[in-house]
Amino acid sequence: MKKLLYIEMDNCIGCRSCLAACTQCGGHEQKNRNYVMDVNPLVNRQTIPLMCLHCVNPACARSCPAQAIQIHETGAVLSALVEKCIGCQNCTIACPYGIPKFDEEENLMYKCDLCIDRTKDDIPPMCASVCPTNTLQWITEEEHSQKRESHTLSNGTWQSSVPYLESETNVKVNLPGILQGKVKLF
């Protein structure tokens, strides 16, 4: 049964355990490939995790003239291949989410690869395996459908794709509380 990464933004408490776990994933060379952003640090403590959404038709891969960005059979969009990346940084410019980062020392793009060494064997990615608040969850498509039904916006609809962003991603995100302006308790 196929599983996917599900991000429930409302739950994030900014502990950054996902970041620490990311550096421990195999093949990451101790580099963090995910981020936690303070939404409005002067007003509240709301944070959100930012990571690659593994687009079905990724702009980063489409923009790469060297075809250095491969898409795994599971749908994970992988970091640039060392032997192919020419350091043009087209991928960092093309990504509508601003996720790929460029390492100038190595002349190489890197980003979340959904811990492909783990997820290909149906083991949760490192970030989801340590998240204490279930902000990051490794769930089945059936579980995602159930969550989608239970989370609706105030107008009764699910958040649809935003036209200027990639239309379909392999990582699913839930934003209802943030979009409805609910105040968090912490």
Interval 137-182: pLDDT, tens: 999 999 988 887 776 554 444 444 444 455 688 888 776 555 555 5
The sign one gets for the Cα dihedral 64, 66, 71, 77 is: negative
Q: Which residue has the higher pLDDT, 15 or 45?
A: 15
What confidence score (pLDDT) does residue 161 get?
A: 45
For 118-139, the pLDDT digits (tens) are 999 999 999 999 999 999 999 9
Rounded distance, CA 29 to CA 56, Å? 26
What confidence score (pLDDT) does residue 159 get?
A: 47
Range with the poorest average pLDDT among 10-14, 41-45, 68-72, 164-168: 164-168
Rounded distance, CA 130 to CA 137, Å? 10
Query: Which residues, in sequence order, are CB contacts of 16 under 8 Å at separation 6+?
Result: 36
What does pTM read for this prediction?
0.80
**Encoded amino acid at 63, one letter:** S
Name which CATH class applies to 3-180: alpha beta
What are the boundaries of each domain within the chain?
A: 3-180
What number of CA atoms fall less than 13 Å from residue 34's CA on the CB side?
Answer: 27
Mean pLDDT of 85-94: 94
Q: Which residue has the higher pLDDT, 179 or 34?
A: 34
